[in-house]
Amino acid sequence: MAQTDEELQDRVCRACNATYQYPVLKSTATRFYCENCMDLPAGVRATFEQFNKRIKALTATVQKLEQRTTPASGK
Ligand SMILES: [Zn+2]
């Protein structure tokens, strides 16, 4: 379907994990980074991205452990 406006998407920033909308007029946000992170120097943003990857991996690990230690039924 042809739309004149680009369709807004909810995106998750690769660096800070924030949810933001893209594309927003006059926003410096890109497909991968939110506006706040685009204000950061590239090196800082890259470091944030590494941290975010680790946090995501650790979160997944914690969730797995929680599922293992929490009984599936009852309390
Ligand atoms: Zn961000």
Q: Give the count of alpha carbons within 13 A of 50, CB side only.
A: 5
Domains of the chain, by residue range, sit at 9-69
- Tell me how far the alpha carbon of residue 20 lies from the centroid of ligand 1, in angstroms: 8
Taking residues 17-26, what's their average pLDDT?
96
- Tell me how far the alpha carbon of residue 24 lies from the centroid of ligand 1, in angstroms: 15
Contact 52, 14 (CB under 8 A): yes
- Tell me how far the alpha carbon of residue 29 lies from the centroid of ligand 1, in angstroms: 9
pLDDT of residue 21: 96
3-state SS of 6-66 is: CCCEEEECCCCCCEEEECCCCCCCCCCCCHHHHCCCHHHHHHHHHHHHHHHHHHHHHHHHH
pLDDT in tens, 36-71: 999 999 999 999 999 999 999 999 999 999 999 987
Q: What does pTM read for this prediction?
A: 0.77
- Tell me how far the alpha carbon of residue 62 lies from the centroid of ligand 1, in angstroms: 23
- Tell me how far the alpha carbon of residue 8 lies from the centroid of ligand 1, in angstroms: 17
